[in-house]
Amino acid sequence: MNADFGLAHLWSQGDIVTKGTAILLLAMSLASWMVIIVKALDLRRYMRQSRKIESFWHAADFADGLSKLGTDPSNPFRVLALEGREAQAHHNAQPQLHDSLDASEWLTRTLRNSIDESTARLQSGLAVLASVGSTAPFVGLFGTVWGIYHALLAISAAGQASIDKVAGPIGEALIMTALGLAVAIPAVLGYNALVRGNKGVLQKLNRFAHDLHAYLVTGARVTAGSPSRVVPMKKGA
């Protein structure tokens, strides 16, 4: 490519619309990569925390099990266990409107609300990736169309329409489409990967909630085998 043409030349010769489009694409790229990195680190932490679930069930009592889950207040598994324990104690202690529900229904409602809150936290930021992935190609295409339009106007004003005069400006304009794709593709791939990772964490949360419900209602954890097989654990404070 001629040294007089390229991305730097496009920026220096571009008008406010061209520069604004490039800045918008840059901002979209930074936002998507920030979401991807932050959410990927969160997923890695949640998967590490999920491996402590079996240690929880091998604890001597509930309090010891909580300690084995760690002290991270954002740990969804610890939050789920705490919510379940508090719901059980609250239902048994105070006669209120929710007493019309039996203990099993009350615990189910509480555990489901906790999982819903964890789901909302897991899915936060994914809308950014979905928006970037779906709009970035069109933003780049708009920059290309605008660049071609102004390149053709400049060529027409100069009265020179030879291929060497046309190829450079048109090629520069097409860079905007490439930039749009470069922004959109990582956002789409990151979105799909994060959705798949979130699904794995939520499956573990739902399984843990099922075991917690069985334990808090019956005093024993139902195992993956026969429903009659339970693993007892003391209900320590």
* pLDDT tens digits along 132-182: 999 999 999 998 888 888 777 777 776 666 665 666 667 777 888 999 999
DSSP result, 11-67: HHH--HHHHHHHHHHHHHHHHHHHHHHHHHHHHHHHHHHHTTHHHHHTSSBHHHHHH
Angle (deg, nearest 10), helices 103-123 and 163-218: 160
**Global confidence as pTM:** 0.78
* pLDDT tens digits along 102-116: 777 888 888 999 999
